[in-house]
């Protein structure tokens, strides 16, 4: 149903209707549209534009439309341009002319952005809650492998031994930052555009602060032009989803490498890997690869939207209709990838022996020799030099630096005494790193406790906000 037409001699050409139509994707906003309309009708009744009796009729028709959408009894049809026109058609079907009364004092320009904000608030909180499950899964693995020695890499070369739990726990920190970004997004963006009308504010709805409060916003936006034009909140959300995607892709990359025959660290569960149609022996890390690959589309959605916004005039321009599909796609992408990644993390087992065997390879204990001398007061440049000479000697003998004998080590520097031996093992190297961010088992145990606590606090806050949001949504 068209929401305009009086000044036109004919309806839009078929090609225009097809181009214009957004209902196939913006139908996702239907329940939010109804809720926003209810608040708007309350506002109209309060300012006397419609009678209280009429407002009650409209609200109860909106409420039954809401349940009919829920059960699938009401949906959009071929003539509907967008979700807003479909809902108005539903209302007119129920109430006749009165069904058209509720749109006084608002425009689709302020309506669509208010609906969309509510949709995003709802779904970004859901993503945040799923992230707490992911963090929980990571924390469990980090704790289980807090004393499992493994090589630590820089430049993908063996660098220093670590405990594997440290490698896993680092991801929890990244996802906690994502949750924090979401909390920050909510704080900045919980302001209502409703009441901005087409662009100049509404003469019929003098108290947008009341509708804002009813919809759970902290208040109304203070400039009606900004209210209908601003899509920073969309760009910021897409950025957050892209960063989550990047974090997932880096996990994907690790699990892919770790499950190669060459590494052989990770054994993926049968339920979380896939086979090959031609090579019967294959067990492929497709979830990890899809986690890596899907980050591409998340980033694409962000850059697409930024490109739409660049140079766009104020206030509403139809280009802005392009803001929704990237968000729907990013959210729905995360909704499918996150549960699979959580399952993969929960079910993968790691080969402690294989990881430990590699932990000290590639002269990974050379730093311990330099640190030992530095502790004895030798300037670090000299200590580094001496340790480098030990590596050269070991290389020339075809052994690892920790396999040199006491006398071979002592031949390089007089201060290299046999008591260095206690440091020249994976266990010796990691257990000396007891600082708060270090890789000793004790530090990792404390780190996981702190991560658990932060995650619990985040989950409680998210649950509380989600409960109050769903109370707000019920009409
Ligand atoms: N479907 C439109 C959108 O998503 C709704 C707003 C239309 N406003 C207008 N002035 N044509 O942006």
Rg value, the chain, Cα: 30
Q: How far is the CA of 22 from the centre of ligand 1 (A)?
A: 9
42 flagged as catalytic: no
Return the percentage of the chain with pLDDT > 90, whole number: 92
176-228, pLDDT tens digit by residue?
999 999 999 999 999 999 999 999 999 898 899 999 999 999 999 999 999 99
Residues 57, 98: contact at Cβ < 8 Å? yes
What pLDDT sits at residue 7? Answer: 84
Nearest protein Cα to ligand 1, atom 4 = 321
Ligand 1 atom closest to the Cα of residue 316 is: 10
- State pLDDT tens for residues 351-395: 999 999 999 999 999 999 999 999 999 999 999 999 999 999 999
Res 464 pLDDT > 80? yes
Q: Is the pTM of this model over 0.75?
A: yes
Q: Over range 42-46, report the average pLDDT.
A: 96
465 part of the active site? no
Instruction: Compute the distance between CA of residue 169 and CA of residue 164 in angstroms, rounded to an integer.
Output: 9
Residue 416 binned pLDDT confidence (cut-offs 50, 70, 90): very high
Asked if residues 186 and 118 have their Cβ atoms less than 8 Å apart, the reply is: no
Distances (CA, A) of 123 to 83, 329, 330: 18, 12, 11
Structure tokens of 335? 């909704």
Does the structure show a pLDDT above 90 at 400? yes
- Residue 112: pLDDT over 90: yes
Average pLDDT, integer, range 1-11: 80
pLDDT over threshold 90, residue 59 = yes
Count CA within 13 A, CB hemisphere, residue 354: 13
Confidence (pLDDT) at 32: 98
Give the tens place of pLDDT for each residue, 11-31. Answer: 889 999 999 999 999 999 999
- Read out DSSP for 214-283? HTT-SEE-S-HHHHHH--HHHHHHHHHHHHHHHHHHHHHHHHHHHTSTTT--EE--GGG-B--SS-TT--
- The pLDDT, as a whole number, for residue 178 is 98
Q: What is the pLDDT of residue 187?
A: 97
Q: Identify which of 162, 143, 156 has the alpha carbon closest to the alpha carbon of residue 355.
A: 162
The predicted pLDDT at position 1 comes to 63
Checking if the pLDDT of 254 tops 90, the result is: yes
Q: Please provide the DSSP assignment of 335-370 as one string.
A: HHHHHHHHHHHHH-EE-HHHHHHHHTTTTTTHHHHH
Residue 446 burial (CB count, 10 A): 15
CB of 28 shorter than 6 A to ligand 1: no
For CA atoms 47, 49, 52, 58, the dihedral sign is negative
In this prediction, residues 97-110 reach a mean pLDDT of 92
**Angle (CA) 375 437 245, round 5°:** 140
Predicted local confidence at residue 277, as pLDDT: 85
Query: What confidence category does residue 161 fall into, taking pLDDT thresholds of 50, 70 and 90?
Result: very high
Those residues whose C-beta lies under 8 Å from the C-beta of residue 452, and which sit 6 or more positions away, are 136, 139
Q: Tens of pLDDT along 274-293?
A: 888 888 888 899 999 999 99
Q: Is 167 in the pocket of ligand 1 (CB under 6 A)?
A: no
Q: Whose CA is nearest to atom 12 of ligand 1?
A: 321
Catalytic pick among 51, 64, 276, 349: 276
Provide the H-helix boundaries in 96-163.
108-144
Residue 151 has pLDDT above 70, yes or no: yes
Ligand 1 pocket, residue 108 CB under 6 Å: yes
Above 90 in pLDDT, residue 313?
yes
Residue to substitute in 318, 324, 327 for testing ligand 1 pocket (most ligand atoms within 8 angstroms of CB): 318
Question: For atom 11 of ligand 1, which residue has the closest CA?
Answer: 318
Closest CA to 125 of 187, 60, 205, 200: 187
Q: What is the DSSP letter of 371?
A: H
Residue 109: CB within 6 Å of ligand 1? yes
Residues in the chain: 475
Q: 235 CA to middle of ligand 1, Å?
A: 18
Query: Which is the closest atom of ligand 1 to the Cα of 320?
Result: 12
Query: Ligand 1 centroid to 109 CA: how many Å?
Result: 6
> What tokens does 81 get?
């341009």
Task: Compute the distance from residue 150 Cα to the ligand 1 centre, in Å.
Answer: 56
């Amino acid at each position: 149903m068209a929401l305009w037409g009086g000044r036109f001699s004919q309806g839009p050409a078929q090609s225009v209707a097809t181009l214009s139509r957004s209902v196939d994707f913006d139908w996702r906003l239907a329940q939010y549209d109804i809720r926003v309309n209810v608040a708007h009708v309350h506002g109209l009744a309060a300012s006397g534009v419609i009678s209280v009796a009429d407002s009650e009729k409209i609200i109860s028709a909106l409420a039954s439309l809401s349940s009919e959408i829920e059960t699938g009894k009401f949906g959009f049809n071929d003539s509907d341009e967008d979700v807003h026109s479909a809902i108005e058609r539903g209302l007119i079907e129920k109430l006749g002319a009165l069904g058209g009364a509720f749109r006084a004092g608002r425009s689709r320009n302020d309506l669509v952005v208010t609906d969309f904000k509510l949709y995003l608030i709802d779904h970004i909180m859901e993503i945040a809650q799923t992230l707490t499950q992911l963090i929980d899964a990571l924390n469990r693995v980090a704790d289980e492998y807090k004393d499992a020695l493994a090589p630590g890499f820089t430049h993908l070369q063996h660098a220093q031994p670590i405990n594997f739990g440290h490698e896993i726990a680092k991801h929890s920190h990244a996802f906690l930052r994502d949750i924090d970004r979401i909390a920050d997004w909510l704080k900045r963006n919980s302001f209502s555009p409703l009441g901005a009308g087409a662009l100049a504010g509404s003469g019929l709805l003098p108290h947008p602060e009341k509708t804002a409060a009813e919809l759970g916003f902290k208040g109304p936006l203070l400039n009606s032009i900004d209210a209908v034009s601003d899509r920073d909140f969309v760009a910021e959300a897409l950025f957050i989803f892209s960063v989550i995607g990047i974090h997932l892709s880096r996990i994907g990359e690790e699990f892919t490498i770790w499950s190669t025959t060459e590494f052989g660290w990770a054994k993926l569960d049968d339920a979380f890997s896939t086979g090959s149609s031609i090579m019967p022996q294959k067990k492929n890390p497709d979830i990890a690869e899809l986690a890596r690959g899907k980050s591409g589309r998340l980033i694409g959605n962000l850059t697409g939207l930024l490109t739409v916004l660049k140079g766009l005039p104020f206030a509403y321009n139809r280009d802005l209709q392009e803001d929704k599909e990237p968000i729907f796609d990013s959210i729905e992408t995360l909704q499918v990838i996150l549960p699979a990644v959580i399952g993969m993390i929960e079910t993968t087992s790691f080969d402690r022996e294989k990881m430990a065997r590699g932990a000290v390879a590639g002269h990974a204990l050379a730093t311990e020799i330099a640190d030992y001398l530095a502790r004895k007061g030798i300037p670090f440049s000299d200590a580094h030099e001496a340790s480098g000479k030990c590596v050269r000697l070991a290389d020339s003998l075809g052994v690892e630096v920790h396999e040199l004998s006491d006398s071979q080590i002592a031949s390089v520097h007089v201060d290299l005494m046999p008591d260095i031996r206690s440091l020249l093992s994976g266990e010796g190297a990691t257990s000396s790193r007891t600082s708060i961010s270090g890789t000793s088992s004790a530090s990792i145990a404390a780190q996981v406790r702190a991560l658990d606590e932060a995650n619990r606090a985040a989950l409680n806050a998210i649950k509380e906000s989600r409960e109050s949001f769903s109370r707000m949504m019920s009409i």
